[in-house]
Chains A and B, each alone.
Chain A
Amino acid sequence: MEKMTIKNDLCSGCRACELVCALNKLLENNPTKAALKVEGVFPKPGKYYVNYCKQCGNCAEVCPTLALYKDEGVFKLKKELCTSCYLCVDACPKQVLFINKDTNLPLKCDWCRDCSVVCAHEAITFLEEA
């Protein structure tokens, strides 16, 4: 199975991944609504980090309505079961589960891979799990 892999030292902070994520998930041109986040630490030491969903499943564990379920290694949301209690948002250790203010639903990365398509620098790739 392919797994999302991040190499922070290859990230150049362009945020194309955030932009394409919001377009894919919401058809919106707004990177602040993406399910991943790029952060830079400047002026010292001059590094970027990508906060992303590792599909750890903490969100599903706390979901009282079983709206979050596992599908081939990826945790996905059944919208009709979600009550917008946001326990999942609080439980996310990487803080990459966001609330979509328009729908009030949590926005969850489902490893659609579009971020890796626009990451020309290959900081984000999907590699076969060893």
Chain B
Amino acid sequence: MAPEDKPATEDSQLLAQLRAGDEHAYEELVRRHGPRLLAVARRFLPVEEDARDAVQDAFVSAFRSIDRFEGQSLLSTWLHRIVVNASLMRLRTRRRKPEQSIEELLPGYLEDGHLERPASPWRMDDLDPAERNELRALVLERVHSLPDGHRNVILLRDIEGLDTEETAQLLGISPGAVKTRLHRARQALRGLLEPYLREANPE
């Protein structure tokens, strides 16, 4: 989801100051938008140092291209795209653990096409706020245990809320490939979450 903005007028004032080369405006931009950008980078990069580096990369790149920001989107949306891109670049340089095959996480079928292990209901309604917080952390951790290509597509489409076209462009794959990969990634993530969320004694 594109982050909601501070009042757009505040940002357009800030933009004017940036374009006029006002030094204080740069600091104001960092203080105003930095926290949100850091939150985005942390969703992509579990190691804090990497997340901070990505935020720094993003701001440096934003400062450099502020003149090209045309104001057709919100400043916050523009910055969001920049930090997503910077985070993806950092992510690509990380050494990866050996990957678990995604096939094992997808549902299996019997010869007649029925589910091998019938799905059971999830307990979502009886989670208290503390459990929901834990669950969010767990979801992110499990997303990061997926193979790179599947992790990236979930991060971009489902977590950051980019559309299929934007995701395809950022990942350098076709929109059709984004859809196929997203569907498999969601199924795999579902499989990873199921042990925690399956009702103990479904009716």
Q: Do A and B come from the same complex?
A: no
Where the two chains meet, the residues of B that have a C-beta atom closer than 8 Å to any C-beta of A are none
